[in-house]
Amino acid sequence: MKEAMIENLKKKLMDDVDMPYVMLNDAFALFNKKWLEAQKSSPLDRKNMDELITEALDESIPDKAESAPAGAIPPSREKK
């Protein structure tokens, strides 16, 4: 199952991401947030870390149907 999830992530990354560095930066920020929350209850083992990483990547890679129009600024990159 984990291998299927990773293959799906690779396909989404290659097909649906125009700016991979931006997406990876967003995924890293999401992972850090999830990791901090998870650490509050107990230390994480390697399996838990792998699950958090794949979950953060999956949430950060937009589906082509859901992605914004070309040239749009992702919400995480908008100036406030």
Average pLDDT of 63-80?
A: 52
d(CA 72, CA 56): 22
Task: Write out the DSSP string of 22-70.
Answer: HHHHHHHHHHHHHHHHHHHHS---HHHHHHHHHHHHHHHS--TTTSPPT
Specify the pLDDT at position 7.
Answer: 81
Confidence of residue 1 (pLDDT cuts 50, 70, 90): low
Are 67 and 16 in contact by the 8 Å Cβ rule? The answer is yes
pLDDT reading at 70 higher than 50: no
d(CA 3, CA 37): 26
Higher per-residue confidence, 35 vs 15: 35
Specify the pLDDT at position 68.
Answer: 52
In the chain, where are the structural domains located? 28-62
Give the global pTM: 0.56
Specify the pLDDT at position 80.
Answer: 47
